[in-house]
Chain A
Amino acid sequence: MQALLSFDKAPPFAAPLRFFLTAPLFVLMTGVLLMAVGPDMFASRWSPGLLAATHLITVGFMLQVMLGALIQILPVVAGANLRHPLAVARWLHGGLSTGALLLAAGFLFGQPALLGGAALILGASIAGFLAVSGQALYGVPSTSPTIRGLKFALFGLTGAVALGIVLALALARGWALPLPALTDLHAAWALGGWGGILLAAMAYVVVPMFQLTPGYPARPSWWLPRVMLALVLAWTLAVLLEWTLAIRLVQGLTALAGIAFAVLTLRLQRQRRRARADATYRYWQLGLYSAIFGLFLPLTATAWPPLAEWPGFSLAVGILLLVGGFISFIVGMLYKIVPFLAWLHLQNACGGQAPNMNRLLPELAMQRQMKAHAVAVALLLAAVVWPEWLLRPAGAALALAGGWLFYNLWGAVGRYRRHLAQKVSA
């Protein structure tokens, strides 16, 4: 019986771990960048520092964890086995980390060569990942909304990266393209077509599993990935046809689809069977409320366009969706996945004598780190209105939250290694 618990072909711990340990350093770097550049960063959504910070978070943190987690999770949620997961993890991790740094440096210093290099490295790394994950998923039937969501999300990632490469090259080489409309479209593919669909596909599995809630009802779960993808495709068509009214309408509908998913998740959370509010639950609450407010702004702007002309509009949406939303969801999941994987690998190595997960990563450490993150979100939002006073403190809080996350995860890995060493020497 015990032997059956060892998932013989589960990827080695080192495969996803390198992504999970590097990603928090990009949040730390973002905080340091905010402190270094200061209030000028929030002068407009096109300021070089802000573009750099945005991509440190989206590529350096979010994409890093998302792809690292997929290497681990594709066999578990889809029965799709990646060939040579450790080798894939090595080159993908190197490509994403280098690419994210080059991209941020390219924006910050306005260096076309760095932007071109970043486009090349990120494009090649992600294309490589799409090829190996596509191969793993090829022939896997969509027997659950999660598998369908994963397939659609990978298509969304393709669109987001293709648009990102076009934009980076357009900036580097001065191509005459409608940059604002294409940037919004890039963000729609990245956060809706990729991040949003992936988040939903993962939530269908991890929210009931980690938070002991009821399951997501089947019908909306099947429909959400379809609706989201159809909306970003419609958005693309509207941009190509330069049909402003349609762009606005699709933007509103996309926001509405996101809000519906967030409200449904909040409802499931209210019916959870675990009385204790742990760090994952709290992180998801923060993420869901942030996302609802972040999506409410573009929804309102659809009905009342002058709102979008408020200089802080894009900043507030970006902070609420990326820092308040996605980072919160991702850290909430990391705080379950890292101790669980450490426990599982120890269980296999020690023949069922692994320590309790809470001893590998104590709840108190996670809760305290989460408070630093919540303060960072609040300060960043306030800094949209008072950048002179609050942008540097917000940067300090974000750097603290990122550094603390690294410290917590590193500590868990250290305890895992010590238990493993004890077992080997015993």
Chain B
Amino acid sequence: MTHPKSQHVVDARYMEPPEPFVQTMEMLDTLKPGEKMLLLLFREPHPLYKVLRQNGYTYESELVPDGTFEILIWR
């Protein structure tokens, strides 16, 4: 799946915890320097944000009208 914001997308909107967390971590491992990934979720993942901050990642979150949080992550 691709998205205007990134080619690397984890659509975790219909996944049960902790799958969104696990899949995001797995995708981050595959990113090349300079690449960004997008996580789609129906909530803001604060525990993930914390892990991202601790590991030197930056993220930007946007709530779109259908209730999806689009979370762009890069290092």
Contact = CB atoms under 8 A, between A and B. Distances in A.
Interface of A: 1, 4-5, 7, 10, 75-79, 143-146, 204-205, 208-210, 212, 214-219, 221, 273, 340, 344
Nearest to A212: B14
B42 A144 contact: no
A118 B16 CA distance: 41
Nearest to A74: B46
Given A204-B43, A221-B67, A273-B14, 15 more contacts: A4-B25, A4-B55, A5-B18, A76-B47, A77-B43, A79-B44, A143-B63, A144-B44, A144-B63, A144-B69, A146-B43, A210-B16, A215-B67, A215-B68, A218-B63
A143 B26 CA distance: 26
B42 A209 contact: yes
Given A4-B51, A143-B61, A208-B13, A76 B66 contact: no
A79 B50 contact: yes
Nearest to B48: A4
B74 interface: no
Contacts of A78: 46
B67 A218 contact: yes
Contacts of A1: 22, 25-26, 29
Contact of A218 (B13, B26, B51, B64): B64
B34 interface: no
B47 A75 contact: yes
A215 B40 CA distance: 11
Interface string B41-59: 0111011011100010000
A346 B64 CA distance: 36
Contacts of B47: 7, 10, 75-76
Interface of B: 13-14, 16-18, 21-22, 25-26, 29, 42-44, 46-47, 49-51, 55, 61, 63-69
B8 to A, nearest CB: 17
B50 to A, nearest CB: 7
A144 B50 contact: no
A152 B72 CA distance: 28
A218 B17 contact: no
Given A4-B25, A4-B51, A215 B46 contact: no
B75 to A, nearest CB: 15
Contacts of A219: 65
18 contacts: A1-B22, A1-B25, A5-B21, A7-B47, A76-B46, A79-B50, A144-B44, A144-B69, A146-B43, A204-B67, A208-B13, A208-B43, A214-B66, A215-B13, A216-B67, A218-B65, A218-B66, A221-B67
Contacts of B29: 1
Nearest to B63: A218
A215 B44 contact: no
Contact of B44 (A5, A143, A221, A273): A143
Question: Which 8 interchain pairs have the tightest Cβ spacing?
Answer: A215-B67, A215-B42, A79-B46, A208-B42, A205-B43, A273-B14, A144-B44, A216-B67
